[in-house]
Amino acid sequence: MVEDNAPDSRTDRDAGTEAKSDGGRYLSVEEIPETAPTADLTWQERIANVVPSKRRGLKYVVAITIALLWIVPFIGLFMASIRPLSEIIGGWWHIEGMTITFENYYQAWNHSTAPMSVALRNTFIVTIPAVLVVMLLGVMAAYPFARFEFPLKTTLFFLILLIMAAPPELVAMGNYNALQRFGLFDTYMGLILIHIGWGLGWVVLFLRNYLLGIPKELEEAARIDGASRYQIFRTIILPLSTPALVSVAVIQFTWVWNAFFFPLVFMRSPELYLAPQALPLMRGRVQVEWGIIAAGSIMTMAVPVILFLLLERYYKRGMVAAVAD
């Protein structure tokens, strides 16, 4: 009898040893219940917990209403872009017998007066350098404001804020003659410089607030290891600033891409027109070609929307950190 029970006792002892070795994370064989545990809440109670309160429900209603009011014009614009002019004269919301066509996009792309193919190419030529240079100069200027102490620091930062408050008309008046004197009027380079100067102020302010949230201990540890200021900036600050830089890129890209006033003032050659300048030229001489204008508008706004969707995750992180800090 003793010999028969010996294996069982060894098995129980081994099981107890395993239970102690795993820190009690798993149940022993004797502790496993024979039936599944019952639910803590009934289905009525679960539904009651999911249904929002009156106050939260009112917030949902207001938010959904604002979203619908915001998106209705875009729906009308899109519907006008894929339907013939005869069907949208009476209102785009009439969908009986609706005809879907992409002829408006083809005509807008190859328009005789202001082809969107050329206008979008010109807009890319101006927007991409204006975004990249502002990002680079902005983070290089924001880092000293966030980390160093130097003479006139407060005064210079106040001047940056003052430039942000200046209206674009003032910037245009001050730079109109300067661009003509240096031979940059009616050129891509002149317009790019205007956008860089106009956007640099808010970029420095935005990135400075973000950099203040990066712990100084990381830079101090790198200094102890013998890293120079340039190495710290390149290997620590720039990688950690990626969300903020993406946020800057999305916002600056949208502003430059949709800018109408600066191209209107500084660009005069029709072959150099940007997309916002080309859209009014699609009206037509006899009647307003609403379908072609709608198609051109959709193509113009599609680029920044796609960019935002691709970089949405980094954009949110950068915006939250810069505002919170």
Q: What is the pLDDT of residues 99-122, one digit of tens each?
A: 888 999 999 999 988 899 999 999
Helix (H, G, I), strand (E, B) or coil at 92: coil
Domain that holds residue 33: 2-46
95 lies in the same domain as 190: no
Lookup result for tokens 């109408």: 260
129 lies in the same domain as 86: no
In a domain, 108, yes or no: no
pLDDT tens track for 123-180: 999 999 999 999 999 999 999 988 888 888 888 888 888 877 888 888 888 888 889 9
Task: Report how many domains make up the chain.
Answer: 3
182 lies in the same domain as 315: yes
141 lies in the same domain as 81: no
**CA gap 278, 270 in Å, rounded:** 9
pLDDT tens track for 30-70: 777 777 666 677 777 777 777 777 888 888 899 999 998 98
User: pLDDT-derived band of residue 6, with 50, 70 and 90 as boundaries?
Assistant: very low
130 lies in the same domain as 212: yes
C-alpha separations of 78 from 24, 72, 115, 244, 299 in Å: 61, 10, 19, 32, 10
